[in-house]
Structure 1
């Protein structure tokens, strides 16, 4: 079935045809066209829901729990380490006057907190790096709902471990156990892979960029609410009660996915999880460029790799710098409290909504690549301001400049999705989920190591470094867009 035929099919029918093609690709090739048609017809289409229920609530609830617990766990780590080192957290000497030399004990607390963040994230994301591609590609055959339910249950189990540590005041090293258990179930990256695969199944090429942006806007809205609630709640009642909400939210997301989300592919009861087929599908996609590269050749395959590289760099910067905002704001000269930290995180997550609005407006007059470049410029400007921010006003100015920073990721996801056939979407998003897990791993390692190493000469150097790195994907996206326009112009003149 060619692309012109696919665009004429209704969404529910497109799901059945796509899933049939996915399942058929895992079986031996048919001898003739009649066998293929019989096999496709024999596949029972998934049940269609009479109301427009989708995966946005699952992602909303999962992101809410993640954003609620991330700054709280960092602050808990810092408080426990301060208690162990005998640092009382007094800020009158270092926070009232930015010219005062920082307390060496405070710097040691910051360094140990950053290192423990690194160890905990390394444990979780290194396990998830192996599990996520299995789950993502497996969902092509077993259905999308399993990779929406299992990771949420894993995150709920992580919250249980964190609660036990807080109740019993166990060593903070037990946080690592919770992260590993979450990583074994796919962690939040598997939820992202399932949600974006579901959107690719249920959208056409024209609307895909905006549908992906809507899904990412759910990340921002839930993150903004969780940030405001978390800061106020932690100040009023401490750490334990908010983590009970984290547990309840993850369980609610798993329950919603199991009861209300209808399958976008037809589940195959013979599908196996532990098989090399899933990794081979990802390798075949990137080694050959996919089925749709037959006409584009080497240039098509290079675009697939280069857009993946851009996605890797952008998400690495986003995830790595996000982990440092709380530490940067807690210590001198800013010395923010829980309420200001909550407002700062909310301002950052508000950029998801402003990016969605900006993307919709810019798409009226700009191509997706130029939208991505505007988004990167917004991100770079904000990071440069963060690198020199020594007042609350300047810090919020940086958050304001980043109001379009999230518009680049839906563009890159959409471009990658459009480079492959509908029957290869599962393998693509499995690889994207794998890359995203690697982004969290590399971002956590690089930024949590670079931040304490550069405190002695420039506290905000890490943000300046991030701004410089973002120039690389900006150059790649701009170059590829110019090459595409030149090829299109050449084809138009020769025809």
Structure 2
């Protein structure tokens, strides 16, 4: 047990398996309820997309203030708080899905789950807390790979969780309705995560090697690049645009695969979600390979170009085979976001890691409050004529995200890394 105290990986893996179970369960329950309430395919799609629009907007709006508060405590030394509190929210909100299935509460009850989840900081606070803890425990040279490794564990857990989720959803008996086993498994795993984060994980055992830049200042070495506010602004701009493109496209994809011509069942939904998590593996391999000869900004550009190609092809998908082909083009699509986080952490002192990273996450949420309804309404308006148009829109926005990160690359290339000041 003492050996596990300094490792975040078991927590991330367990939480992501649970999240994969919940995502598939919610997706299938929403489809079932909307199908029962509608007499047409278009009506069902409109109901599904409207549900996810409201659910996602609540999930993005509610964590803003709690996330800032938790980040402040995190930077004051309470590194576990931005992780433990969101896990409480995860546990309580996922418990509602069990009640929706077993007691047959209206699906709108899940909006309350989004509120509870958000008031506890949500994913924004949880993942920013994880990334801050990783950042303070690694040096600048190895940080990009270390953060990507954490994303790899996250992706592998999501892959196996998604593969199993469709089969677990279909398990039921006379006394248990379809989906109960999956929902209860999700809640149980989140409870285990909460116990691990609260009683096992010890942040004081983690070496604060990521605070090297503060020691540089005290020894007379100033890193001008790390204090470049223009670079920070450009990184935020690129990250926000890329998150809009990815988030908007993936939110609509959840509805897109449930309609004709794909019309997936629970098992196919699980496999489709698993295909998305394979990107975590290929992106990690990409970072390990490209980091040997390419800069962080170059790796980000490679990832963005990969996503642009895949999401543009998704606009023309009409069969399951074409869906997986489009997914295969996005094999490096995960590289940009963790690498942007790594670059941002190199621009600030370690006492500001949590606040900087939560501000990035919350900026994604604020942008999503506009883009989620925008994508939803565009999808509904083009449902008959061109249902894949939103994916073309995502590819255009990704191209726009390439511009600020290219500027950052040029600025860093023309800046001296360090200037040594002679001491006494």
TM-score, normalised relative to structure 1: 0.76
Q: Is the 8 A contact 1:59 1:191 kept in 2?
A: no
Shift of 1:294: 9.0
Q: What does residue 363 of structure 1 align with?
A: 291
**What SS does the aligned partner of 2:384 have?**
coil
> Where does 1:147-226 land on structure 2 (aligned, <5 Å)?
147-226=82-161
> Where does 1:73-472 land on structure 2 (aligned, <5 Å)?
73-85=26-38, 87=39, 105-237=40-172, 238-264=178-204, 295=224, 300-472=228-400
* Unmatched segments (≥5 aa) in structure 2: 173-177, 207-220, 420-424
CA distance in structure 1 between the partners assigned to 2:4 and 2:170 by the alignment: 41
Q: Is the 8 A contact 1:316 1:439 kept in 2?
A: yes
Q: Is the 8 A contact 1:119 1:176 kept in 2?
A: yes
Indicate how the Cα distance of structure 1 residues 147 and 480 shifts in structure 2: closer, same or farther if over 3 A, else same.
Answer: closer
Q: Deviations over 1:298-344 (max 9, x none)?
A: x9211111101111122232222222223211111112222222111
Shift of 1:480: 2.2
* Unmatched segments (≥5 aa) in structure 1: 1-48, 88-104, 267-291
- 1:65 and 2:5 correspond: no
Q: Is the 8 A contact 2:290 2:299 kept in 1?
A: yes
Indicate how the Cα distance of structure 1 residues 160 and 134 shifts in structure 2: closer, same or farther if over 3 A, else same.
Answer: same
CA distance in structure 1 between the partners assigned to 2:389 and 2:55 by the alignment: 24
Shift of 1:51: 6.1
Q: What does residue 29 of structure 1 align with?
A: none
Deviates more, 1:256-265 or 1:207-216: 256-265
Q: Is the 8 A contact 1:312 1:436 kept in 2?
A: yes
Deviates more, 1:419-428 or 1:395-404: 419-428
CA distance in structure 1 between the partners assigned to 2:192 and 2:363 by the alignment: 28
Q: Is the 8 A contact 2:382 2:389 kept in 1?
A: yes
CA distance in structure 1 between the partners assigned to 2:63 and 2:343 by the alignment: 25
CA distance in structure 2 between the partners assigned to 1:459 and 1:165 by the alignment: 30
Shift of 1:225: 1.1
CA distance in structure 2 between the partners assigned to 1:215 and 1:416 by the alignment: 17
CA distance in structure 2 between the partners assigned to 1:157 and 1:316 by the alignment: 28
Shift of 1:83: 0.9
CA distance in structure 1 between the partners assigned to 2:370 and 2:187 by the alignment: 27
Shift of 1:388: 0.3
CA distance in structure 2 between the partners assigned to 1:296 and 1:217 by the alignment: 28
Shift of 1:264: 4.4
CA distance in structure 2 between the partners assigned to 1:59 and 1:470 by the alignment: 28
Q: Deviations over 1:389-414 (max 9, x none)?
A: 01121111011111110011111001
Cα-Cα RMSD: 2.3
Q: Deviations over 1:158-201 (max 9, x none)?
A: 12222112212122211111111111111122110110010111
TM-score, normalised relative to structure 2: 0.88
Shift of 1:221: 0.8
Shift of 1:383: 0.4
- How many pairs does the alignment contain? 398
CA distance in structure 2 between the partners assigned to 1:436 and 1:154 by the alignment: 20
**What SS does the aligned partner of 1:131 have?**
helix
CA distance in structure 2 between the partners assigned to 1:431 and 1:293 by the alignment: 25
CA distance in structure 2 between the partners assigned to 1:71 and 1:244 by the alignment: 13
CA distance in structure 2 between the partners assigned to 1:413 and 1:444 by the alignment: 23
Q: Is the 8 A contact 1:319 1:439 kept in 2?
A: no
Q: Is the 8 A contact 2:159 2:275 kept in 1?
A: yes
**What SS does the aligned partner of 2:407 have?**
helix
**What SS does the aligned partner of 1:172 have?**
coil
